[in-house]
Structure 1
């Protein structure tokens, strides 16, 4: 049975409701319950870990039996497992819902399978309605689920000859205003922004995301990694979000803790030591390199040791796009996979 206009409208509303929920360990999910004639009976969304899932949140607003014969429109396949809450598929079956329309399959090995359970109970199921919009909404959660850790972007700005700073250590500003504005826009899209203690001590960055002179409504959690102490009057301590400090060089432990806290994406800003450590550890999913048309010379390289002893072991990147930003140029790429290398080698024949 094809999705009708009332269900399409309900899915658009469910996506709006989903966006009200917090980003974190659990996905943002919204639900709308429709009567057999297409009228909205109830709405709900997931308010955070440990709270009722979107379907149950919506059902809780109805009197017993009021959902019998109704249609549930949900942004993610109803779950099929018992955690801190029960299986949503079972809740819908017990409520007497006769049809479920959802946008995305639940990719969880434990939580997936709700659609099959619904069908086995005689409930009509339609999957894929506005899937692209739902995927865009919870893309960070999907990436973190796939990776088993946050999605990590490493960013740096450099001169054409690969320097991050001049001989005296000054680095503001290598790039122009359009490039810096682009950085702030990308900061606001991340859940956390990470720097090393060296950068905190030398530059005293605020680590905020700004739109001109104003703070962006969405701010990343500042993360400082390194053994040296952060001064009590450091700008990062005045950030709108409480900073996280890690006195360790074990980046895998840091990333695991961030993942446990519900951080889905990390924006690594520097400096060269921290950026190089993430690359050497294989903890990079995307690279942003802002290239400025200046020459600096000297020893202050944008990257240091990234564990490449020979050219055969170079860490190759696949460039996704080149973005002109005023006089500067942004390279957006990701580490080249084995399959991509194989494709290139086949093409070279």
Structure 2
């Protein structure tokens, strides 16, 4: 098989893996394509909840045609026994002759051992192709393995002058329907949607994916030091239907803790720093609970704390062509900067119109 064919089939495996983003945590979302004599005989991607894995699904579809075939996998096949047998064993047993994967798994239970076992079994292993693309797809899984925290995408929808509401709190709707639909698609590709207590109180959000055919909703997270949240809110009323996780401080009222737990919420005690919940402690707790990708939608204080702590990996702006003025509510809380050189900076990755608005995507700066 030539280099062009390898790239084409591995690109398909990566695309299949992206189908599961937001629905496979704590496992990575992997895609697999089985090819024999230039023809696809099997394909699969990680199922919701993380099992079954991509490889056994693709092998089951291929059947006997897998013998002597090439498996294109978007991440190193697992080599450890968990709730299911290792994917390396399945590939070996099926008679796969060659495996093409972009990069190694950073999970210490795998970390190159999958490739090594395949080679021991006489299977040719090719790595490195489309490595950067795969690293982006698996960034949340890798961050949790290496730093103990999930990837954070911060989305800010604002007016042209960076306001999220008028002085009276009127904010619906600054951006249009197309931008809002795009946000729902982004929510669906993340494990969880997170907001601060002020946003939860002011907007009474549901934080669900709507009108997208979603079969699995993201976890809904509120960061609230004192748990002083409305007990008749949409989140409270639906906590037993769609997961609600609350990150709080050690000084939260025990009675409110019990009430929210009875409503169905899961609660995480986090450290306090500077009078506010420490964002590192919050993300550490979420990572320990299994999350790999978190989509933060504000408000301003939470967004500022994440930026100040250098915990934002992707910054997405939805900017409308409307001006609100200095009396409006800013998209970001105070950052306490004395010099421009201290400001968080990101590299522009994408900019495009969405209806009457502009979406701009910025990635963590490499400089």
TM-score category of the 2 structures, normalised to the smaller one: 0.7 to 0.9
Aligned to 1:222: 220
What 5-or-longer segments of structure 2 have no aligned partner? Answer: 250-276
Q: Could you report, residue by residue, the CA deviation over 1:232-290 in whole angstroms, capped at 9, with x for unpaired residues?
A: 22112326521111113122222122223332211111211111111112110111222
What is the alpha-carbon distance in structure 2 between the residues aligned to residue 30 and residue 330 of structure 1? Answer: 28
**Residues 190 and 293 of structure 2 are in contact (CA less than 8 Å); yes or no, is this contact kept in structure 1?**
yes
What is the alpha-carbon distance in structure 2 between the residues aligned to residue 196 and residue 279 of structure 1? Answer: 14
Alpha-carbon offset, residue 30 of structure 1: 6.0
Q: Does 1:27 align with 2:19?
A: no
Secondary structure, in 3 states, of the residue corresponding to 1:263?
coil
**Residues 158 and 164 of structure 2 are in contact (CA less than 8 Å); yes or no, is this contact kept in structure 1?**
yes
**Residues 10 and 101 of structure 2 are in contact (CA less than 8 Å); yes or no, is this contact kept in structure 1?**
no
1:182-331 superposed matches below 5 A:
182-211=182-211, 216-226=214-224, 227-237=226-236, 238=238, 240-248=241-249, 249-292=277-320, 293-298=322-327, 300-331=329-360
- CA distance change for structure 1 residues 45 and 229 in 2, over 3 Å: closer, same or farther? same
Q: Could you report, residue by residue, the CA deviation over 1:47-85 in whole angstroms, capped at 9, with x for unpaired residues?
A: 688977665788899xxxx99975573623333455666
**Residues 159 and 296 of structure 1 are in contact (CA less than 8 Å); yes or no, is this contact kept in structure 2?**
no
What is the alpha-carbon distance in structure 2 between the residues aligned to residue 207 and residue 115 of structure 1? Answer: 40
Secondary structure, in 3 states, of the residue corresponding to 2:330?
coil
Aligned to 1:112: 111
Alpha-carbon offset, residue 154 of structure 1: 1.2
Alpha-carbon offset, residue 223 of structure 1: 0.5
Secondary structure, in 3 states, of the residue corresponding to 1:283?
coil
- CA distance change for structure 1 residues 303 and 217 in 2, over 3 Å: closer, same or farther? same
Q: Does 1:169 align with 2:169?
A: yes
- CA distance change for structure 1 residues 133 and 167 in 2, over 3 Å: closer, same or farther? closer
**Residues 9 and 33 of structure 2 are in contact (CA less than 8 Å); yes or no, is this contact kept in structure 1?**
no
Aligned to 2:362: 333
Alpha-carbon offset, residue 135 of structure 1: 6.9
TM-score by length of 1: 0.73
- CA distance change for structure 1 residues 109 and 200 in 2, over 3 Å: closer, same or farther? closer
Aligned to 1:343: none
What is the alpha-carbon distance in structure 2 between the residues aligned to residue 276 and residue 18 of structure 1? Answer: 29
RMSD of equivalent CA atoms: 4.4
